[in-house]
Amino acid sequence: MDNQNLKRHISGQFNTELDNIRNRVLLMGGLVEKQLTDAIVAISTLEQPLAEAVIANDAKVNAFEVLIDEECTRIIAKRQPAAGDLRLIFAISKTVTDLERIGDSAKKLAKVALEKNAKSQGNLLVSLENLGRACIALLHEVLDCFARMDAKGAFDVHSKDRLIDAQYESMMRELMTYMMEDPRSIPSIMEVMWAARALERVGDRVQNIAEYVIYFVRGKDIRHLDDEQIALLRD
């Protein structure tokens, strides 16, 4: 559904209010994307000031969530939206929750970069960085889908989470092999595993946001549907 179709359902001041809140979501999304990018850079370069900045800026992500949730509550109370308008507010509210949790994952990654064992992790961080870059690309893609309310693009993003999962599982097998070969590496590898798990959850959160876009545009809840059922809804 493009913006022209969106505006068929709403008008005047209400339209302005919803446009403003959607823009705030995109600002929050941009901040979260930067947080995740900076966290991955901090892990790959072990740049302590950058990691500390990511941790400090998490408060800004949290503030966005509170502000947008308050706006959603105010609009529901004041406008009593129905049908597509209510679905949009639902999509916004759920999206900011997942963006905040992605921000939490970025903060966890930044903390890994500050750990004393980070310097000894060596080439293990390369696999972690690759996984992180894949997550950043997918987050950027889903934010673009949200901005355009693009259901087709959201279906594409939704399917790509399996690529993140496959990369994560491959990395876990690699890390387990390292631990079996050298038990002394276990403390360092556990930190990498913790970071990889945080990134795998980012993929899940991105998939959730894709589902909210699809729900708004198509009015279909695709949670818990299998691949065949989802494929039927794409057309």
- Average pLDDT over every residue of 186-211: 92
Domains of the chain: which residue ranges?
3-234
How far is Cα of residue 82 from the mean position of the Cα atoms in its chain? 27
pLDDT in tens, 151-198: 999 999 999 999 999 999 999 998 999 889 888 888 888 888 989 999
Whole-model pTM: value is: 0.90
Residue 235 has pLDDT above 50, yes or no: yes
Q: Which range has the worst mean pLDDT, 1-5, 47-51, 177-181, 202-206?
A: 1-5
In the predicted structure, residue 16 carries a pLDDT above the cut 70:
yes
Contact 12/21 with Cβ under 8 angstroms? no
Q: Using only C-alpha atoms, what is the Rg of the chain? A: 19
8 Å CB contact between 10 and 79: no
Residue 232 banded pLDDT, cuts 50, 70, 90: confident
CATH for the stretch 3-234: 1.20.58.220
